[in-house]
Amino acid sequence: MPLHSEDAPALPLDAQGILELAARSMFQLFSSVSQGMFLVDKSGRIVWVNEGYRRFLPDLGVGSVDQFVGRMVEEVIPNTQMRRVLETGQPVLIDLLTNKAGTFVVSRIPLRDDADRVIGAIGIVLFDHPETTLQPLISKFALLQRDLDDARRELAAQRGRSRLGVAGDGERRAKYTFASFVGSSPAAAEVKRQARRAAQSSSPVLLLGETGTGKELLAHAIHAASSRASGPFVSVNIAAVPDTLLEAEFFGVAPGAYTGADRKGRDGKFKLADGGTLFLDEIGDMPASLQAKLLRALQEGEIEPLGSNKLVPFNVRVVAATSRELPALVREGRFREDLFYRLHVLPIRVPPLRERRGDIPALIEVLGEDLALRNGTAPPELLPDAMALLAGQAWRGNIRELRNVLEQAVMRSDSLSIDAAQLTAILREAGVEPAAPAPDAGGQGGAPDQQSLLRPLSVQVAELERRAIAAALAAHGGNKLATARQLGISRATLYGRLENPD
């Protein structure tokens, strides 16, 4: 095929013409692939919106295009940063904007005249529902945020300890006991019962549960309640150590194995935990080569430091944890079956928060007091609608997520009382579409009480449907197709229920 067809329209020959053409093409491209666009003049007044943008108007509380065009941008788009672009003349190529209409990935570009003066700006909504379209990025961000939160808390705890004058080796002591595990729901009581039993034994314990459910807390508590309580508690986060360094981290390095800094040799975690408990966190992330070595160590009760040919016996009780589906990893051949069974002697499934909603009020109380203590303020007070809202969420980040939401609410609220609207905004900003409030907040969630079971069946069924839909929507970041699939209903049925919930 010829590269240039004779009768194809040609590019303009002058640079200006090409630029104009490029500008026009880009504008058309953005207008068609973006979710919406609008223009403001120099004073920040909206002068134009494209077709795509119109669907955001109802969520912004604007009835029609006529009520939108002609208004000052900040009057109709809360939290917009368009004015800054007009003032500075600097584009914002990518940003997250959250307001009552949701969270959006946006771009803001100044428009200049021939004399290079800013005469307006263009706002582009690149994606709406970034929580679904940008899922990989957001998950990564959430993971980093999680580690940052944990590190900050650890630092605060260490500072607290040094203020109290606790000896340095306090770091190797358990930080939590079973009393720290808040919850009296049947599911919480059961997990504590199993963990207490595990504390009496010296076999390996395997803690399985979603992120933020309290696995690490339980590992500390098991150690503190065991006969090894006076020995060290040493933890290794396998996901956080580069694969190439893990072996040395675990088994240590013999003197003379390396030149340089490590010449003298270094104790591994097995040695450091001698007489105590070794907590292997994120065990599902362990590389295959190390799995084989760990298995051998557990079978023989001996380790071989790097660069040594001597086996050294160890006296350590292993507690492992993971939020991954370990049996699935075994099926996929990514986790050794023999190691799995070695560790699976005392498995404890730590339930997600949504299976023990009855504990939410007590958790809010304790987490609130903890926050208050750290900030030197009074504990926050949640209004009933806020309590009901929190009790109804899916809490995929479990207790860590609950704590973060409370922390945000306290940080942002001028007064100590927190209402549902504030929490809704915080959840949205975190990329979570809030689920419907739980009707029985404060009750022993899960099982409905006798009185509510005596209401007309149609009312109860409708209520259950609403809750199921809200939970599934939250779990799928508002994606309706995935929600309908999960619930085994058609999309039309789902839309019907959403539009007309009763």
Ligand X SMILES: Nc1ncnc2c1ncn2[C@@H]1O[C@H](COP(=O)(O)OP(=O)(O)OP(=O)(O)O)[C@@H](O)[C@H]1O
- Residue 361 interface partner, choices ligand X, Mg ion, none, CB cut-off 5-8 Å depending on type: none
Contacts 24+ apart (CB under 8 A), 181-186: 181/214, 181/217, 181/218, 181/221, 182/359, 182/362, 182/363, 182/366, 183/356, 183/359, 183/362, 183/363, 184/358, 184/359, 184/362, 185/356, 185/357, 185/358, 185/359, 185/444, 185/445, 185/446, 186/356, 186/446
Q: Where are the beta strands (DSSP E) in 209-276?
A: 233-237
Binding mask 370-399 for ligand X (x = CB under 6 A): -----------------------------x
Interactions with ligand X, residue window 320-339 (CB under 6 A): 323
236 or 391, CB closer to Mg ion? Answer: 236
**C-alpha torsion sign, points 440, 441, 447, 450:** negative
String of contacts with ligand X for each residue 395-414, x by CB under 6 A = ----xx--x-----------
Q: Nearer to ligand X by C-beta: 312 or 366? A: 366
Site string for ligand X, 178-217 (x = CB under 6 A): ---xxx-------------------------x-xxxxxxx
Residue 277, binding choice from Mg ion, ligand X, none, Cβ under 5 to 8 Å by partner class: none
Min dist. Cβ of residue 322 to Mg ion (A)? 9
Give the per-residue contact string, 143-182, with ligand X (x = CB under 6 A; - = no): --------------------------------------xx
Question: Within 10 Å of residue 385's Cβ, how many Cβ atoms?
Answer: 16
Of 239, 230, 341, 232, which is closest to residue 287 (Cα–Cα)?
A: 239
CA distance 446 to 448: 6
Listed in sequence order, the residues at least 6 apart from 448 whose beta carbon sits closer than 8 Å to its beta carbon are 440, 460
200 contacts 235 by C-beta, under 8 angstroms: no
Of the pair 348, 474, the CB lying nearest ligand X is at 348
Extract the tokens encoding 341: 């069974």
Least CB distance to ligand X at residue 495 (A): 35
Binds 308, which of Mg ion, ligand X, none (CB < 5 to 8 A, cut-off by type)?
none
- Closest contact distance (angstroms) between CB of 149 and ligand X is 8
Smallest gap from Cβ 352 to Mg ion, in A, equals 14
In the chain, what's the furthest Cα-to-Cα distance? 88
Grouping H, G, I as helix, E, B as strand and the rest as coil, residue 104 is: strand
> Of 117 and 152, which has the nearer Cβ to ligand X?
152
Q: Residues binding ligand X: what is the number (CB under 6 A)?
A: 17
Task: Check binding of 285 to Mg ion (CB under 5 A).
Answer: no
Among Mg ion, ligand X, none, what does residue 182 contact (CB within 5–8 Å per kind)? Answer: ligand X
Is the Cβ–Cβ distance between 192 and 224 less than 8 Å? no
Q: Which of residues 187-216 bind Mg ion (CB under 5 A)?
A: 216
Nearer to ligand X, 82 or 399 (CB): 399
Q: What is the dihedral of CA 161, 163, 167, 170, to 10 degrees?
A: 0
Which 3 state secondary structure label does DSSP give 309?
coil
Q: Which of residues 338-357 bind Mg ion (CB under 5 A)?
A: none
**Interacting residues toward ligand X by CB under 6 A:** 181-183, 209, 211-217, 323, 363, 366, 399-400, 403
**Interacting residues toward Mg ion by CB under 5 A:** 216
